[in-house]
Chains A and B, each alone.
Chain A
């Protein structure tokens, strides 16, 4: 199975600032995804992080607010820009495909963000 780490594990930020979350996988994977989980809610897919090209965003999410990078097959970042209290959520990355992951997605531990 793929082992995923996320940094930071949690943060408290002021409104109007930006936070970049890192996702690192211990093996090369084909696909990487970013999810948001608001308090007491289920997971919502933000975007698919594409290696070497722009991310594919789901309805309701835009690149200016959630820029994503994926420079290689083991690493991705999600930035939450110009934050407001409504952005307080857990942000999770997940991975699929490659030698360690076929037909199942593995999830990172999440980054718990609080915006004041």
Chain B
């Protein structure tokens, strides 16, 4: 079973920030928080991941609470192309230690004009 809880759906106005929450209250000390998204009819796309510090890249920012029991993915200026299902996943660090990804139901984000 997935170790995360996400709202099933959210709406966001184009150009505004989209804030997607995720609860992972049973996260272990060696587990990272990963975010992927799946645009309709495509394979999932990696967005960002973090352990305990906040992270930012060209796609998004990841805010992890101090107790690591929840996190928020922020798309700073949502566009219509950001409409997708967003998955929050916890797992041990990747690379050559490669942990499997267990997908929950995700949040279906609809960006509206």
A residues adjacent to B (C-beta < 8 A):
4, 30-31, 33, 35, 42-45, 48, 92, 94, 96-97, 102-110
CB-CB < 8 A to B103: which residues of A? 35, 42-45
With contacts A33-B100, A45-B100, A48-B100 taken as known, whether A97 is within 8 angstroms of B94 at the C-beta atoms is yes
Given A108-B43, A110-B43, check contact A103 B94 (CB 8 Å): yes
Interface string of B35-77 (1 = CB under 8 A from A): 0001000111110010000000000000000000000000000
Give how many B residues have a beta carbon under 8 Å from the other chain's beta carbons.
22
A sample of 18 more A-B contacts (CB under 8 A), given A35-B103, A42-B106, is A4-B43, A30-B95, A33-B101, A45-B102, A48-B100, A92-B44, A94-B101, A96-B94, A96-B98, A97-B96, A102-B95, A105-B46, A105-B94, A107-B44, A107-B45, A108-B43, A109-B42, A110-B43
Question: Which secondary structure dominates chain A's binding surface?
Answer: strand
Establish whether residues A105 and B101, one from each chain, have CB atoms under 8 Å apart when the complex forms.
Answer: yes
A104: chain B residues at CB < 8 Å are 34, 46, 49, 94
B-side residues, CB < 8 A to A, are 34, 38, 42-46, 49, 85, 87, 93-96, 98, 100-106
Shortest Cβ gap from A57 to chain B (Å): 12
> Is B44 touching A43 in the complex (CB atoms < 8 A)?
yes
> How far is it, in angstroms, between the C-alpha of A2 and the C-alpha of B43 when the chains are bound?
13
B43 and A103 within 8 A (CB): no
Q: Given the complex of chains A and B, what is the CA–CA distance between A92 and B103 in angstroms?
A: 13
